[in-house]
Structure 1
Amino acid sequence: MVALYEEPEKPNRAATPENPEIELLRLELAEMKEKYEAIVEENKKLKTKLAQYEPPQEEKRAE
């Protein structure tokens, strides 16, 4: 497919953020991702622990 127009090359702003807020947001995002991963891991552990106390799914349906 032929483009009807050429897009000008966009400057790579990732290498040099112009606004200090951008860097703060990146740091905050990295922190949030770490917290999210920790919560996902904790959730898996808690689900495993909970499964020990709940009856299997087959028994629940039979009732």
Structure 2
Amino acid sequence: MTSTYRPNESKREEFRRYLEKGGVVDSITKALVALYEEAEKPNNAAEFVRRYMGASGPDTAELETTKNELMCLREKIDELTRENETLKEKLQKYESGGQ
């Protein structure tokens, strides 16, 4: 068992050194310290860390708003598509009745 345990430990240590060398450990540590030092803790700690580390994606509230907007727009498209079909039918009846 010891022989299978050591290679895993070795890989973990190698990965740890890789993260340290790349500045990842330092960046995460700084983000966590900043979170610790926040007087009012944010509701979403992961979002705080992402923003602190420079992630430029939308936050959870923005995503939820965008999803809701998308859903409303899809409903509006469906409504307009149905209205368009109805008007096409009326126009076709009008055109065939007028000839």
Identity of aligned residues (%): 38
**Distance apart, 1:47 and its partner CA:** 0.2
Gaps in structure 1 of 5+ consecutive residues? 1-17
Q: Give the aligned CA root-mean-square deviation in angstroms.
A: 1.6
Greater Rg by CA:
2
Please state if 1:27 is matched with 2:68. Answer: yes
TM-score by length of 1: 0.56
Aligned pairs, number:
39
Partners of 2:75 and 2:63 in 1: CA distance: 19
More helix by share: 2
**Distance apart, 1:25 and its partner CA:** 0.3
- Spell out structure 1 runs of 4+ moving beyond 6 A: none
Gaps in structure 2 of 5+ consecutive residues? 1-46, 48-58
**Residues 1-63 of structure 1: matches in 2 within 5 Å?**
19=59, 20-55=61-96
Which structure is higher in RCO with an 8 Å CA cutoff and minimum separation 6? 2
